Amino acid sequence: DTGVSQNPRHKITKRGQNVTFRCDPISEHNRLYWYRQTLGQGPEFLTYFQNEAQLEKSRLLSDRFSAERPKGSFSTLEIQRTEQGDSAMYLCASSSGPVSYEQYFGPGTRLTVT
Amino acid sequence: DQQVKQNSPSLSVQEGRISILNCDYTNSMFDYFLWYKKYPAEGPTFLISISSIKDKNEDGRFTVFLNKSAKHLSLHIVPSQPGDSAVYFCAARDSNYQLIWGAGTKLIIKP
Fill in the amino acid letter for B15.
E
A91 vs B43: CB contact, 8 Å cut-off?
Answer: yes
Query: In chain B, whose CA is at the least distance from the CA of A110?
Result: B41
Choosing among B3, B39, B99, which should be mutated to test the A contact, i.e. which has the most A CBs within 10 A?
Answer: B99
* Number of neighbouring beta carbons within 10 Å of residue A27: 8
Which residues of chain B make contact with A38, given a CB cutoff of 8 A? none
Question: Which residues contact residue B98 at a Cβ distance below 8 angstroms, ignoring those fewer than 6 apart?
Answer: A45, A48, A56
Each residue's pLDDT tens digit, B19-64: 999 999 999 999 999 999 999 989 999 999 999 999 999 999 999 9
B44 vs A4: CB contact, 8 Å cut-off?
Answer: no
B43 vs A93: CB contact, 8 Å cut-off?
Answer: yes
B101 vs A43: CB contact, 8 Å cut-off?
Answer: yes
Q: pLDDT band for position A98 (50/70/90)? A: low
Each residue's pLDDT tens digit, A35-46: 999 988 999 999
